[in-house]
Structure 1
Amino acid sequence: MVYALLYGLGIGVVLSSMLGTVFFFLVQNSIANGFKSSVFIATGVITSDILLIVLSYFNANLFPSGSYAETLVRLGGAILLLVMGIGNIRKHSKPQFAVPVYRSPWLLASKGFMLNALNPGNYISWLSISALLINVNHYSIGERWWFYAGALISIFGME
C-alpha cells in the first residue's frame, strides 16, 4: 500500500513535469494575475484528472492481457504520436502574445479543467497507466486507489 502511494507520487511528478498547454497557461497566468489565481486553474486541472482517472479506471479492464494486445496498443500509440508530431512540424502559425486578465475563479477553474480534459494525451496517459496497474503490476483495487491518490497529490503540489 505504501509502495503504491510512493509509486503514484513519482508518476504524478513525471506527469506534471511535462511541458504542455496547462503548464504554459499556468506560467502565463501567474505572471499576469499572481499565484492565487493559478490555484483555481490547478483545481480545475485536478478535477479533470479525477474524471479522466475514473474513465480510464473502468475502461482499462477492456484491454485483454497478453502480448498481442500490448503490441497493438504500443503500435497505436506510436502511430498517434507520429501523426501528431508530423502535424506539429508542418503547422506554420505565428504566435500571439495577448495576455487576457481573468477575474472569476470559476472561469479560471473551468479553463484549467477544459485545457486538461480536452487534451487527448492526458486520457491516453491515464488509460495506459490504469492498464499497467491492472495487467502488469496486478494491483488490487485498494492499491490502485492509493496510487491514484498519490499521483493526484503530487500533480496538485507540482502545479
Structure 2
Amino acid sequence: MFEDILTAIPLGFFLSFMIGPVFFVLLETSVVKGFRAALSFDVGVIIADIVFILIAYFSSYRLLNAIKDDPALFIFGGLVMLTYGIISLIKHKKPKKNIDPEDPAELAKNNYFTLAVKGFFLNFINIGVLGFWLAIIITIGPQLQLQPSRMLTFFASVILSYFIVDIFKILLAKQLRRYLNPHNILMIKKAISVVLIISGVFLLVQGLFPKERKMVDKALEKLEHRNE
C-alpha cells in the first residue's frame, strides 16, 4: 500500500502543474476572488476528475476508446470553451472603477457553489481528460493487479496530492492580491478569456481533423518508445 501511495504522489504533482485552461482559471480565481473562491473552483475540478476516473474504471475498454476519439465530443467541448471565452472577453471590456479587490463585502458576493460548478464543467468538457485517466488505468491497473483496494488507494493518493499542491498554488497566487487594481483585474480576466479561446480552438481542431490528431499521437508514441 505504501508503495502505491509513493507511486501516486508524483503523478498528482504532475497533474497540478499541467498547463491548461483549468490551471490558469484557478490562479486567476485565487488572485481576483481569494482563497475560498479558488478552493471552491478546485473542488469542482477534482469532482470532475473523480467522475472521469469512475467512468474509465467501470466502463469497457472498447467503449471508452471509441468515446475518447469521437470527433463530435472534441467539437462540442471546443465550441463550449470557445463560446465561454468569447463571452467572457466581451463582458470584461472596461474596468469597474468602484470595486476594491480587498473589500470583504465585495468578496462575500462570491457564490462558491457556482464556482465549483464552473470548475466541474470546465474540466468535464475537455474529453482529453477522460483519455488521460483511461491511459493511467490501462497502464497502472495491471501493476496494481486490478485489486479494488489498491486502485482506490492509488487514485485517492493521486487526487489528494493533486489537491494539496493546488492549495499551495492558490496561497501563492493570493499573495498577488496586494498589487491589484481595477485595471490589473481587467487585464487578468482578459488574459484568461484568451486562454479559454485558444483552448477551445485547439479542441475544435482536434475534432475537425481527427486523422491529423491520430498521426500526431502516433508520432509522439514512437518518440516515447525510442527514448525508453
TM-score normalised by the chain length of structure 1: 0.72
Name the aligned partner's letter for residue 150 of structure 2: E
* Greater relative contact order (Cα < 8 A, sep 6+): 1
Choose 1 or 2 for highest CA Rg.
Answer: 2
Alignment-derived partner of residue 19 in structure 1: 19
Alpha-carbon distance in 2 for matches of 1:134, 1:39: 30
Task: Count residues with an aligned counterpart.
Answer: 137
Question: 5+ unaligned residues in a row in structure 2: which ranges?
Answer: 79-84, 97-106, 167-228
- Structure 1 residue 121 displacement after superposition: 1.7
Alpha-carbon distance in 2 for matches of 1:138, 1:23: 33
1:1-159 alignment runs, 5 A limit? 1-59=1-59, 62=61, 96=89, 98=92, 103-135=110-142, 138-159=145-166
For residues 24-77 of structure 1, the C-alpha deviation after alignment (integer angstroms, 9 at most, x for no partner) is: 101111111111110100111111111111001123x525xxxxxxxxx7xx98
Contact 2:144/2:151, CA 8 A, preserved across alignment: no
TM-score normalised by the chain length of structure 2: 0.52
Name the aligned partner's letter for residue 136 of structure 2: I
Question: 5+ unaligned residues in a row in structure 1: which ranges?
Answer: 64-72, 88-92
RMSD of equivalent CA atoms: 3.1
For residues 101-135 of structure 1, the C-alpha deviation after alignment (integer angstroms, 9 at most, x for no partner) is: 87211110000000111111211110110111224
Identity %: 29
- Structure 1 residue 12 displacement after superposition: 1.1
Q: Are the structure 2 counterparts of residues 139 and 10 from structure 1 closer, same or farther at C-alpha, using a change threshold of 3 Å?
A: farther
Alpha-carbon distance in 1 for matches of 2:7, 2:36: 29
